[in-house]
Amino acid sequence: MSDVPLETSISTAARPPEDAALLAVPFAADLDPPVGLPVPAAALLACYEAKGEAGEIVEVPVARGEAVGRILLYGIGDGSADALRKAGAAVTRRGRGREEITVVPPGASAGAVAAFTEGALLAAYTFRIGETAASSRPVASIRLVTGATGAPGDDRGTGAPGDDGRTGDAAETGGTGETGTAAVEAGIARGRAVAGAVALARDLANTPASVKTPAWLAERAAEQGVTTRIWDERELRAGGFGGILAVGQGSVSPPRLIQLSYEPEGEATGHVVLVGKGITYDTGGLSLKPTEGMKFMKTDMAGGAVVIAVLGALAALGARVRVTGLIAAAENSFSGTAQRPSDVITQYGGRTVEVLNTDAEGRLVMADALAYADAELDPDVMVDIATLTGAIGIALGKGLGALFASDDGLAAELAGAGEASGERLWRMPLIDDYVPALESSVADLANIEAGSAYGAGSITAALFLREFTGKRPWAHLDIAGVGRSTVDEGLSAKGATGFGVRLLLEWLSGR
């Protein structure tokens, strides 16, 4: 994986410095912080009516010789991984504009430290072209204290309920001393790897389309330290990738198909193909979007960005499964050469599609990639991820990604990974009664519902993709509602969220 420049660094120290200007300590009524409070902790918490909820912070001034420092008592809620991510995010956000925060971790286990680190670094993410005001910059450094870990009164650390603190093969449980230090270091490493991958996905999606052509995206993908193959427009034409070519033919920036291949050390436990939508900008084509609908379309390749970031991070997490990533990249523009409503195109493998709406382009490029994966790569499982339909944002809002799956076991695995990673999914139905919505009078399929009364745009889009999976176990993640954020709060920054990176890394590293 290329080094993702996270703006906030994380290091360790055996003890907090006596002159720490800002010290953050886990929140509990029986707290015995390593630097004294002016009054008993229980009295302070009662005064502020603090409940210890995840992300809750009580700030207390303390004497530092002639100066004044501050202690942040931060709530850890139920101690679950999700609660610790929220706690890390809250601490980082409170330190915005500062050079350093010293933090007593919320537990001694690698799992607790990984979750806290992940939340802290995700909340520190920024993307800006130009100067950033000093007060708006994320905290430059977080120092975790290895000699004072664990929830108050618990020398084992804080993990998810029912969890022994283990996260992956590298995790270790333990209290203070060498075992605790090793666990903290392992947790930091995992948290940094996951947060770095999310930051990469966000960076790619947030980059303006004036820079982010399909060729540029292919170049960034090739930097991830895995085997790379890139099809240019001539190779796409020779290979019969009619969907990718049709979508990209209206742009001066030609399309690309990007293939990334991760091979684990030793025998692989299976082969997974990930397919990502890589529309670097979406005007809607000749079925032109209104201005408001175009403003965020530089992030319409968020699914492709997730696939690139995941492939780059697998080695750092020690994933044992073989993974192939396919990113179908094109710019959906309008010009005299753009595809027209009523055109019939031939997808990879020979299926013909009547294009009734050029703004339903993501499914056309992904159909090529899915059909290629089925015919040539022989995967055990295929999963695609895309900002595919506006309808899913209406159905599920901004807090849940949509999961469609042809296999119940695969659906359960992905839903479980979503819960564990904090990127929750809601399973949606694949209703076979809606398949006639895709019928065309002149081609094998239509790319949208052709004047019938079915509706359910997200479901019919998923059914369209299913036609190209060859009946293999397959799942489709529609992240149109959760792939972008309009606010800067919690773990998210305004702009691309990188949704899907954490849940796919959780799923793949456990296979």
Q: Annotated catalytic sites, by residue? A: 289, 363
Nearest to 352 by CA among 364, 340, 338: 364
Spatial separation of the C-alpha atoms in residues 306 and 502, rounded to whole Å: 9
Judge contact between 257 and 368, C-beta under 8 A: yes
Nearest to 307 by CA among 354, 273, 281: 273
Spatial separation of the C-alpha atoms in residues 118 and 336, rounded to whole Å: 47
> In the beta sheet, which residues pair with residue 13?
145
Spatial separation of the C-alpha atoms in residues 114 and 183, rounded to whole Å: 9
Spatial separation of the C-alpha atoms in residues 9 and 432, rounded to whole Å: 50
Judge contact between 389 and 482, C-beta under 8 A: no
Two tokens, residue 114? 């990984």
Two tokens, residue 434? 């809606």
Q: In Å, how far are 89, 115, 373, 384, 469 from 86, measured between CA atoms?
A: 5, 9, 38, 28, 38
Q: What ranges make up the beta strands (E) of 283-364?
A: 322-332, 343-346, 352-355
Q: How many CA atoms lie within 13 A of 56 on its CB side?
A: 15
Q: What share of the chain is helix, strand, coil (3-state, %, to 5)?
A: 35, 20, 45
